[in-house]
Chains A and B, each alone.
Chain A
Amino acid sequence: MSRRIVITGLGAVTPAGVGAAALAAAVREGRSAVGPITRFDASRHPSRVAGQAPDFDPSEGVRKEQGRYIKKNIKVMALDIQLAVAAVNLAVLDSGLPPGDPKAGQAVLPTIDHARLGMVFGTSFIPTELDDLAAPIQAAQGADGQFTLKGWGERGIAQMFPLWLLKYLPNMHACHAGILWDAQGPSNSLTTSDAGGLLAVDEAARIIRRGHADWMLAGGAESRVHPVLVLRYCLANRLATANSIPAAACRPFDLDRTGAVAAEGAAAVMLEAADVAEKRGARIYGEVLGTGAGTTTAGINACDADGRAVATAVRRALAAAAVQPADLGAIVAHGTAFAPQDSSEAAGLRAALGPAAETVPVTAIKGVTGNMGAAGGAAELVVALLLLGGGRVPPILNCSRPDPAAGLNLVVGRAAPLRSDLVLVTSNAVGGQAAAAVVRIKK
């Protein structure tokens, strides 16, 4: 029999604040964390609103020497990586695994075998901070002010920060978090855009099932509040341009949506083999019953009209969990508010759920957070585990005129009752991967 997998720790740093509780509270209260972009001068970007991460200290709550490591290495951690480290720290601390005493020469988590602790993270190829290139480019320019590769080689490279490459590699989240928590088990970094966080949960669960680990940190981290990325997604016409009221800018499944909102954050969950968690008397937030994945065949900048990618992921997750669509208590959808993505997701949910699509309450949280990319799916899982247990499914913020074409039981205006303790979470990337997870939450 395959091992059951439970969730014993939650960590998040999102535009709604530091900690999983801050995210859950903002979603419950319908408080948008989307504001005008202040990280950089976005006056020439058509989309000027974003969900920005709050000020946070990635060493909050950790042991002194862990704090020292973070302080020493912060200059080689792009914001994405700092967010990931902070979320992992929170998830480990929340899991109740007691940290050891370094003075007594104890391991960082003395009650576990560190070779049995691993992590899978949804990450992305991180664009360089523009300031890192300014001086080297100036140095590379010739007397005529023209940039040449010849000048770059002769004078530019020497002006670069020597560890520049390490600051941006998409596997450094796991590298640093692994060092901090002495996680010597399997680790992977999935670069599957919006689907990364939930696919990380899918793969991490598989690693525990095959017996290669007992604890897996799974989640995602990404900052899309970056001049290059806002430019990229503006060029692809995916971002909201209704800048006047930032809190109302991201409108999932709403008739008046104008696009997604760039955001940033990280979320991580501690997955643990149920036998191990029960033995140590861990607090259990829920159980991962099944996960699934799918892919669009529509092309790299398109969503399939019939929602095949999402439908495939959801069908697989339901089958793995042995759950019938009608038994679902709620759905936390991806809902970016980019119209083709919303309609593809709705079509996929209808195809996979059949008649149950009209009855199971569907919510989405991006009206609160914006689109945190690879962090989104993990953050949505955190909301499912922490908030829905209260028995209420929060409404979709800013969905005031629900798109009737969605054909879903969208929760609007006020919270709806949770129909059962089985929650489906879905993610999908434009032109790429879709992921789904069915979890049983503690009520």
Chain B
Amino acid sequence: MKRRVVITGIGSVTPLGLSVEETWRNLIAGKSGIRPIAIFDAGTFPTTFAAQVPDFDLAPYVRNPGEFRKAGRNVRFAMAAARQAVDDAGLAAGRFDPERTGIYMGSGEGALDFFTLCQSVAHGTGPDGKVSAAGFAEMGFKRYDAICELEQEPNMPANHLAAEYGICGPTYSCLTACAASTQAVGEAMDLLRIGELDTVIAGGTHSMIHPLGVTGFNLLTAISTGPKDQPWRASRPFDRDRAGFVLGEGSTVMILENLEHARARGAKIRAELTGYGSSTDAYRMTDIHPEGRGPAAAIRMALQDAGVRPEDVDYISAHGTGTQENDKVETLTVKLVFGPHAHKVPISSVKSTLGHLIAAAGATELMTCVLAIRDQVLPPTMNLETPDPQCDLDYVPNAARKARVEVCLSNSFGFGGQNDSLVVRRFVP
């Protein structure tokens, strides 16, 4: 017998707010979180803007803020989001069974010290343009810091959370690019279903708004470069003139429990997770299969897992990055799986205002599904000004909409071909 899995707490820090409610309010209002990059001087980069999390004080969220002095933005975001989720679930630190609780985070890297790297590489570069590791190390051993270096490893958010909450049960950290936190929530759900755990702290956290992150995406021409004077217009999912995604950052963390456990402690239940599907494109390194073979398989697996038919789905939270390729293929995929119902089911991409939170995107978008069910309102796809004949579905353009929302599908398709989908629905006892 599979156990039912419910969401009992949510926490989030995003470019649109330092809490779940603030982010949701701004999303529904269609406000954009995209601004000129302030984290570092990106003035001469091809892309000069991103969706950044506002500055905040970590002290209210952790026992000992001093331990996080050298932590990356990813860890700081995760600690804040997790504390909110734990509080929202009514779980104080002492109320975890340390061995029956797990952690599953889709996490990106911590802060890389770009200047130190560059200075050390420059110091080690010889006249032949090759870097001598000895020259690199000569400068590096003076400049690098052990803890800053360790904080770059992507399991650090999970490790900090385990230490903060005294959790010695199973913890996982995955990095399947843009699909990571959808995958994390899905695998966490499986751990709860089979009774391996009672509670999992699951979600995602990431910031690639650092010099090498922006450089890497600029080189791949994956991120939008304009309009520079109106950056809020740069993320245009499903619009004909879309030209790439906009980098975002942040974290969303959820408390997942099996139903019996949640009931036994009288927890408030936010929604029920009922389906998870995961697939791989196995097609090409950067191109998506033209018929959306991988994404379609993940969506079908999730629907089947949830025991729902396509026509039962009331809303799809799209991956919707705003690249030409993704939005076209995602549209095609929805048509392929949903048949005639494709034109009736509303789809939107919160990346139009939130930016792309990469490893944190999936959990954040799942959060918007839970809130859509709660408030019976759909977040809009902003900047959808010029329709694209290849994207001809209902994308909830430019304004939030009241709607009957009981069952939602949330899609994430990772760079590199990992596809994950989740089905979440209103909890009905």
Contact = CB atoms under 8 A, between A and B. Distances in A.
A393 interface: no
Contact of B130 (A43, A131, A141, A160): A131
Nearest to B161: A295
B416 A192 contact: no
A20 B49 CA distance: 49
A150 B118 CA distance: 13
A164 B146 contact: no
Nearest to A157: B215
Interface string B138-178: 10110011110111111110111011001111111111110
Nearest to B186: A186
A125 B212 CA distance: 13
Contacts of A187: 176, 278, 280, 417-418
Contacts of A298: 163
A348 B418 CA distance: 35
Contacts of A138: 122, 125, 129
A157 B149 contact: no
B133 A166 contact: no
Interface residues of B, number: 95
Nearest to A39: B133
A35 interface: no
Nearest to B110: A125
B174 A133 contact: no
Contacts of B98: 297
A153 interface: yes
A252 interface: no
B42 to A, nearest CB: 7
Contact of A174 (B136, B155, B418): B418
Contact of B172 (A76, A170, A192): A192
A300 B183 CA distance: 24
Interface in A287-329: 292-301, 304, 308-309, 312-313, 316
Interface string A157-181: 1001111111001111011101101
B131 A130 contact: yes
B162 to A, nearest CB: 4
Interface string B269-306: 00000000111111111100000011001000100000
Contact of B279 (A44, A115, A292, A296): A115
A115 B300 CA distance: 12
Interface stretch (B79-87, B216-224, B244-252, B254-262): B216-224
Contacts of A161: 219
Given A185-B279, A295-B170, A162 B211 contact: no
Interface stretch (A242-250, A396-404, A425-433): A425-433
A232 interface: yes
A74 to B, nearest CB: 12
Interface in A182-203: 182-193, 199, 203
Nearest to B115: A147
Contacts of A157: 45-46, 215, 218-219
B376 interface: no
A299 B281 CA distance: 38
Contacts, number: 296
Contacts of B294: 184
A86 to B, nearest CB: 18
A433 B155 contact: yes
Nearest to A43: B134
A76 B40 CA distance: 28
B29 interface: no
A42 interface: yes
B257 to A, nearest CB: 19
A203 B211 CA distance: 34
Q: Indicate the member of A119, A134, A138, A313 with the most B CB atoms within 10 Å.
A: A134
B155 A432 contact: yes
A150 B171 contact: no
A432 B282 contact: no
Contact of A231 (B141, B158, B193, B283): B141
Nearest to B221: A162
B282 A189 contact: no
Contacts of B57: none
A189 B117 CA distance: 26
B216 A212 contact: no
Nearest to A202: B170
Given A137-B118, A150-B44, A174-B416, A179 B284 contact: yes
A333 B294 CA distance: 38
B117 A133 contact: yes
- 3 closest Cβ contacts across the A-B interface? A153-B44, A165-B216, A293-B170
Interface of B: 40-46, 67, 98-99, 102-103, 107, 109, 115, 117-119, 121-122, 124-125, 129-134, 136-138, 140-141, 144-147, 149-156, 158-160, 162-163, 166-177, 183, 187, 190-191, 193-194, 211-212, 215-220, 277-286, 293-294, 297, 301, 414-418
Given A42-B133, A191-B175, 12 more contacts: A40-B133, A118-B280, A152-B215, A162-B220, A165-B219, A166-B285, A187-B176, A188-B183, A189-B175, A295-B167, A295-B170, A432-B158
11 contacts: A130-B124, A137-B125, A169-B175, A172-B416, A189-B176, A191-B154, A293-B171, A295-B159, A308-B168, A312-B99, A432-B155
